[in-house]
Structure 1
Amino acid sequence: MEQTKRQPRKLGWRFVLLAVVLAVLISGLVRSLWLDVYYIPSASMEPLFREGDRILVSRTDFRADPAARGDIVVFDGRGSFAPLNSGNGPVLDFLGGAGHWIGLSGGDNTYIKRVIGLPGDHVVCCDAGGHLTVNGQQVAEPYLYAGDVPSELKFSVLVPPGRLWLMGDHRSLSADSRSLLGAPGGGMVPQERVIGRPVQIIWPLDRFTAVARPSGAATTTAKNGQ
């Protein structure tokens, strides 16, 4: 009597659907706890980051060692920077959120800037030599975009407790804390709104490189006015 052979079971649509759901859940867990991908939507952080770059952001770097002067931070701008962008409506907001999820667009409420002032700092621009100062000391800013001055807008601010004064590296194109001096909160970003630190440029591939964290505070006394 001829024995029938058992046919291999084909993978059904339920298995594929389950695999997709699990992949999304795992990705969401990783991105909410450890690493996330963000899109650079403008030239405000040139020359380090260019418009269209995709960056990997660590959500854990600042937990043990809080952001210091000179650090670059990705942050949620709601309540501080968000007035720079008006709402697009529920449909476009949803599409924008989906685009951010897969790294194709930036979030409307997510920004990337450099920490210039910490809580209690007195940040002034500019002194007689055209330098930005923090607590009376000139700030060495080798990261500035070539040809830019520290700030064309004059200001003198005292950073309140729990807040940060943030500026872009391409000062002439950056909408940052300076742009909101007259708004509620004065452009100061709550420290708890910091999402994380960019650690890697992952796209385009010819710019694939690690992003080093400054070894110490960026505030130094410049010698001989340099």
Structure 2
Amino acid sequence: MATKADGRGSRTIILFLRDLAVIFLAALIISFLVKTFLVRPFYIPSPSMSDTLEVDDRVIVSLLTPQLVQLERGDVVVFEDPDAWLPDPQVDQPEGIAGAADWFLTFVGLAPDDSHGYLIKRVIGLPGDHVVCCNDFGQITINDVPIDETDYVTLDQEGLPASGTDFDVVVPEGQLWVLGDNRYHSADSRAHMDEPTGGFVPVSDVVGRAIVVSWPVARWQWIDDHDEVYSGVGSGGR
């Protein structure tokens, strides 16, 4: 025969499960809102940003840039493929329960979206900037001011210029000129100069600014924008 104590115990369990479900639902809603308005995780699919970012690194991207925080030279940004820079994604999507779980975690922002066409590069030229490579010392110049990118650029060997491809561009209004840190192994703005876009990336395609490497744990680090490199550069036409 059931006792009052049994009834109270059952009610306590039910209330506990209810509270647990509410907490879980609230956590998912908060995670979704954070992913939608504040930060999102992304993964690094290629070596184009090495040594700054390595293949399979996970990075946290602030969505406040450029919506609320102005883009600056040196920012490492994630942006949507502006004009078929990428081949069609060849991501093997899991099926069944694993596929549903992966979709759900991506939807709420707990896992990076591996299926969409995103790229990550460093902003070199802002709207109005005159960006040229290279001068007699192998440096890129911005508005006639040479920049020293030694702290973050990876070259195949010492003494090579900052780019194996020459360019001389003026960045149009609302556009960016972006390069990978692994300068001789990055299909960035230089690789698309002959296309209708001229290799420029619309500011409107920028998802956000990469701020930290979150995984693997051994590589946890803030992502430096090296603003000191660009401190002497004028404002161009912006």
The residue matched to 1:30 in structure 2 has which SS? helix
With 138-147 and 35-44 compared, the bigger mean Cα shift is at 138-147
CA distance in 1, matches of 2:224, 2:169: 28
Range that drifts further, 136-145 or 126-135: 126-135
Aligned-partner Cα distance in 1 for 2:87–2:63: 24
Letter in 2 for 1:157: V
> Partners of 2:166 and 2:148 in 1: how far apart?
18
State the match for 2:86 in structure 1.
84
Structure 2 residue matching 1:8: 3-state secondary structure: helix
Deviations 1:134-166, CA, capped at 9 Å, x for gaps:
222212112101436311112211211110000
Q: Structure 1 residue 133 and structure 2 residue 137: aligned?
A: no
% identical equivalent positions = 33
Matched pairs, number: 216
Q: 1:144 aligns with which of 153, 156, 162?
A: 153
Q: Is 1:181 aligned to residue 193 of structure 2? A: yes
- Give the letter aligned to residue 50 of structure 1: E
Answering whether residue 116 of structure 2 is matched by residue 108 of structure 1, we say yes
Distance 2:217 2:116 in 1: 25
TM-score (norm 2): 0.76
CA separation of 1:155/1:3 partners in 2, compared to 1, >3 Å: closer, same or farther?
A: closer
For 1:30, the equivalent position in structure 2 comes to 34
Q: Contact (CA 8 Å) 1:41, 1:105: kept in 2 or not?
A: no
**C-alpha distance in 2 between matches for 1:87 and 1:144:** 27
Consecutive unaligned residues in structure 2, runs of 5 or more: 234-238
Could you tell me how far 1:214 is from its partner in structure 2? 3.3
Q: 1:11 to 1:200 in 2, by over 3 A?
A: farther
CA, structure 1 residues 3+159, in 2 after alignment: closer, same or farther (shift >3 Å)? Answer: closer
Structure 1 contact 54–201 (Cα < 8 Å) conserved? yes
Q: CA deviation at 1:213?
A: 3.7
1:199 pairs with one of 197, 205, 211: 211
What is the Cα deviation at residue 86 of structure 1?
A: 2.4
Point out where structure 1 has 5 or more consecutive residues left out of the alignment.
222-226
TM-score normalized with structure 1 length: 0.79
Q: Distance in 2 between matches of 1:217 and 1:194?
A: 22
- Identify the range of structure 1 (102-111 vs 149-158) with the bigger mean alpha-carbon deviation: 102-111
| Compared CA separation, residues 40 and 87, structure 1 to 2 (3 A) | closer
Task: Mark the CA change 1:39 to 1:88 in structure 2 (over 3 Å): closer, same or farther.
Answer: closer
Q: Show the 5 A alignment for 1:1-226.
A: 4-5=4-5, 6=7, 7-9=9-11, 10=13, 22-77=26-81, 79-80=82-83, 82-86=84-88, 98=103, 102-103=110-111, 106-142=114-150, 143-146=152-155, 147=157, 149-216=161-228, 218=230, 220=232
Q: Is the 8 A contact 2:192 2:198 kept in 1?
A: yes
User: What amino acid sits opposite 1:132 in the alignment?
Assistant: I
Q: Secondary structure at the match of 2:53?
A: coil
Q: SS of the counterpart of 1:36?
A: strand
Kept in 1, the 8 Å contact 2:131–2:141? The answer is: yes
Q: CA deviation at 1:211?
A: 2.4
Change (3 A) 1:116 1:164: same
Instruction: Tell me the distance in 1 between the aligned counterparts of 2:65 and 2:170.
Output: 26
- Are 2:125 and 2:131, in contact at CA under 8 Å, matched by a contact in 1? yes
